[in-house]
Amino acid sequence: MLVKFLRWLFGYIRFTIEGNFPERFLNAAARRGVDLWKLSHENGHMTAQTRQREYAALCDIARKTDTQLTDIHYGGLPAFLKRYRRRKGLLIGLVLCGIGCHYLSGIVWSINVRTPSLINEYEVRQLLREHGLTEGTPAKNVNVSDIINSISVNDRRVSWMTVNIMDTNAEINISPNLASFIGTQTPVPLSNMKSIADGTVTKVEVYQGTAHIRVGDGIRKDQLLVSGLVEYNNGHVELTDCEAHVFARTHRAVTIRLPKQYTIPQRQQTTLKRAMTAFGLSVPLTVTANPSEGTVCQSQREQLTLLGHPLPIYITEENWHQYEEVPVELTLPQAQTLLQHKLSLYEFFMLSSTRQGTIVDRKITCREEADGFILQADYTIEEDVCRKSVIPLSVEEPAENSPVT
């Protein structure tokens, strides 16, 4: 590649050798030290290339070997400059292009922010913008040390950060200050454990506190299950924060209604809009009217790259979907399927809201009425029925040397 560039830079000539004995020309050129390349033999003639400065030597060799040089073609940079020497506009354009490339190479066109999920990337980009680092900012105007010191000192969420500007790219790396995300610990309040539903106790696990129920007991909603008052064998009484799990079999019922007629959104028309954003300027690639009201937009943005490096050019594609409400009437099999899906969602959220809850038994009935469909489900669930209830205590220490009553 370097040899080809040097040949183009200093200029070369391509010529055809005509005569009875072209091999005598080649042998003489070799003895004179003339470098020939791209030798080919076509239609009884031989063609070759050599450096432009060897032309005088070639003419002398051709005269002595009784051959002729025809179809001489000049190539390379000297020939290019000679061909366009009178076109001053081209030269001015090349100079301006070089100046523009030199100027644009000193501008930050891509900012890559690497931040943990604890810190929002959009907020980091806003802070960088406030400190003068944004797309289109000259790299020489960016004070890296000032940005690092200012953000690290003023934002307690940031432990340390680095700002590296390489060519037209800026790499931002941020490490969070975990201590700022850990709130101050407040004193744990004293509490009891109460029941959240009626049922029959199946299992009792008490870690702190005093249990007031046993396995097999029936309980009512809001009944005291575990007390925060602990009495020891030596008569000492202590108030504590209860920790316990009391499992019981409870009953729940749910009724789900579904109308026979309802409307669903149906896509009627899709409008595609594309635009290109380059160096902060947005240019539309499609000429379409603005979508009407009641449309849903799905947008996708892609950044162009060159040889693995991101360019300050983005292609934005927007799909505007227009929907219309279409009436639909349900049949009994369709209604049963939808009701089963709704019941599955209810069971999922019901069990996720109860700690370690399991369904012991379920009875489901589905019937059709004049205005719709009704699904009735009765459940027997084994779940943790404990709910922590804070003890409303206010203890004030007596003043020094004051009598205690």
At residue 404, the pLDDT reads 40
The tally of CA atoms less than 13 A away on the side-chain side of residue 139 is 19
Q: Is 383 helix (H, G, I), strand (E, B) or coil?
A: strand
pTM of the model: 0.40
Residue 318 near residue 267, CB atoms below 8 Å: no
At residue 249, the pLDDT reads 93
Task: Give the whole-angstrom CA distance, residue 389 versus residue 189.
Answer: 10
At residue 173, the pLDDT reads 87
Task: Give the whole-angstrom CA distance, residue 158 versus residue 177.
Answer: 5
Closest CA to 222 of 259, 254, 197: 197
Phi-psi bin for 260: left (phi > 0), alpha (psi -120 to 50), beta?
Answer: alpha
At residue 12, the pLDDT reads 87
Residue 244 near residue 205, CB atoms below 8 Å: yes
Q: Which regions of 98-167 does DSSP assign to beta strands (E)?
A: 107-108, 110-114, 137-138, 158-166
Residue 296 near residue 321, CB atoms below 8 Å: yes
Q: Is 179 helix (H, G, I), strand (E, B) or coil?
A: helix
Task: Give the whole-angstrom CA distance, residue 140 versus residue 128.
Answer: 15
Residues 6+ apart with CB under 8 A from 80: none
Task: Give the whole-angstrom CA distance, residue 332 versus residue 346.
Answer: 21
At residue 189, the pLDDT reads 65
- The one-digit pLDDT tens for each residue of the chain (405 residues) are 788 888 888 888 888 888 877 888 888 888 888 888 888 887 777 888 888 888 888 888 888 888 888 888 888 888 877 777 777 777 788 888 888 888 888 888 888 888 877 788 888 888 888 888 888 888 888 888 888 888 877 877 887 888 888 878 888 888 877 666 655 445 556 888 999 989 999 999 988 888 999 999 999 999 999 988 888 777 777 878 888 889 999 998 999 998 888 788 888 888 888 888 887 678 888 877 767 766 888 888 888 888 777 788 888 998 888 888 888 888 888 888 989 999 998 888 877 655 567 888 989 998 888 888 999 999 999 988 888 888 765 544 444 444 443
Task: Give the whole-angstrom CA distance, residue 52 versus residue 15.
Answer: 11
Residue 222 near residue 357, CB atoms below 8 Å: no
At residue 187, the pLDDT reads 55
Task: Give the whole-angstrom CA distance, residue 173 versus residue 130.
Answer: 18
At residue 184, the pLDDT reads 44
Q: Structure tokens of 100?
A: 């523009």
